Amino acid sequence: MTTRNILIVFIAAIALLSCDGMFDYSPYLIDFSEENRNVNQQNIGKLANQTKDDTITILLAILIVGLMKQKSL
């Protein structure tokens, strides 16, 4: 190997080794604060506590709008 190739390999090795700790490789390595932990479970609990009437109202509104569009065609 020439001196130039050795220098390129040496600089590349230093560049690759100096990046330690610069990137997160896994989402499980991130340390979340306590308020951001178990967000899915918290939101599922909020959804479970909501009343069921909202879903029926939205469904009826969609059906009525669909029927109105069908009559206008």
Q: Are 57 and 63 in contact (CB under 8 A)?
A: no
pLDDT for position 61? 75
CA–CA–CA angle 61, 49, 27 (5° rounding): 100
pLDDT for position 5? 92
pLDDT digits (tens, 9 = 90+) for 4-63: 999 999 998 888 887 666 665 676 767 777 887 888 888 888 888 876 665 556 677 777
Q: What is the DSSP string of 11-56?
A: HHHHHHHTTTTSS---GGG----GGGTTHHHHHHHHHHHS-SHHHH
Rounded Cα gap, residues 60 and 1, in angstroms: 77
Question: Where are the domains positioned within the chain?
Answer: 3-32+44-72
